[in-house]
Amino acid sequence: MTPFVPRRRDVHRTRALLYYRLGLPNELVLDILDKARYWVQVVHENDQTEVLLDEEFSHEFSAAQPLLRIVIDRPAVARRETPKLREMEFLIVSHDQGWTTENTIGTYMTSSWFEVSIVRPLSLPDGRDPQLVALENDMVADSFDEHEYPQSNIHTVIDDMCGNLGFRNAPRPAPTTEPQRLHCDEMHAMTFLHNDPSRPMGVEGQHAWYLQGNEVARAISVFEGDYIRRYRVVWGCKDNPTWEGNEGAGRGEDFIDSLQHGDWICVWARAKRRGWENHVHGIRVTMRYTV
């Protein structure tokens, strides 16, 4: 049975019932709805099959492919309401190349993974001409859909896609490298260093949050075992400190709390090192908001 998901009007009616009929203080009403996870949700998805693979079998292989662009627009609300993003749920359908020469079968010590970055304009949209902001967003959307991928790293993609409009990958607040990137040197070092010293470069994960790794060499055939995996990852925020996932999932620390008005989120498929592949069959992101 499909779980009930409230719409905005459902939240308004419930708030009115608790406030006017039961006479509860507004602060308590909001707290009750929050504790009950009575949130509206917005779903974004991409069901296009994408394959990142090392056709040249190169030691320097590195690929970054943007899968999904999510603009941080608040859902339509009544005046004086400020919706807040409480939770993001990711559902990823994917697998790696199905074999490995390393002693890591069945683990998540992989070089086939997914990550998420926050793409931020150098100038915030507040105070700017709304028509100009909308035009820039349309240009970025067109470029996202029409650009040729993959490229070697996330900075090159964003530079080519919308660098001329002043967009950059925002830095991840934590100074330490996420543990999923530490099992080999190639996962830690960025393959390509941009010539412009003002651009971020150098270390993988400084401007992206690790989302999920593919289980290594789960099967070699669609007829043997659960070849295609479905990974579910849930990231919360400071006001909703939740996390769900397996040992190959990133924690998403400070991701939601780092989002600003005007940002957009990019979900990436990645693969590095000779022979590694990332076969993506779909990704869905569910955003849950208070109203």
Q: Closest Cα partner for 172 from 124, 126, 204?
A: 204
Q: Taking residues 55-64, what's their average pLDDT?
A: 87
Cβ–Cβ < 8 Å for 197, 189: no
Task: Report how far residue 33's alpha carbon sits from residue 213's, in angstroms, rounded to the nearest whole number.
Answer: 34
Mean pLDDT for the chain? 88
Chain position carrying tokens 């924690």? 251
Packed helices 26-35 and 8-16: angle between N→C axes, nearest 10 degrees: 130
Q: Which of 87-91, 145-149, 159-163 has the lowest mean pLDDT?
A: 145-149
From residue 284, alpha-carbon distances to 160, 183, 211, 220, 265 in Å are 25, 28, 13, 25, 13
Q: Does the pLDDT value for residue 286 go beyond 60?
A: yes
Confirm whether pTM is higher than 0.85. yes
- The reported pLDDT for the residue numbered 128 is 64
Cβ–Cβ < 8 Å for 174, 251: no
Cβ–Cβ < 8 Å for 96, 278: yes
DSSP annotation of 259 = -
Q: Does the pLDDT value for residue 147 go beyond 70?
A: yes
pLDDT digits (tens, 9 = 90+) for 272-281: 999 999 999 9
Q: Name which residue leads in pLDDT, 169 or 185.
A: 169
- The reported pLDDT for the residue numbered 250 is 98
Q: Which of 84-93, 120-129, 176-185 has the lowest mean pLDDT?
A: 120-129
* Amino acid sitting at position 99: W
pLDDT digits (tens, 9 = 90+) for 201-253: 568 999 999 999 999 998 767 777 678 999 999 999 999 999 999 999 999 99
Instruction: Residue count of the chain, please give it.
Output: 291
Q: Does the pLDDT value for residue 78 go beyond 80?
A: no
Q: How confident is the model at residue 52 (pLDDT cuts 50, 70, 90)?
A: very high
From residue 103, alpha-carbon distances to 100, 110, 189 in Å are 8, 11, 22
H or E stretch including 172? none
Kindly state the tokens that stand for 227. Answer: 């070849």
- The reported pLDDT for the residue numbered 193 is 47
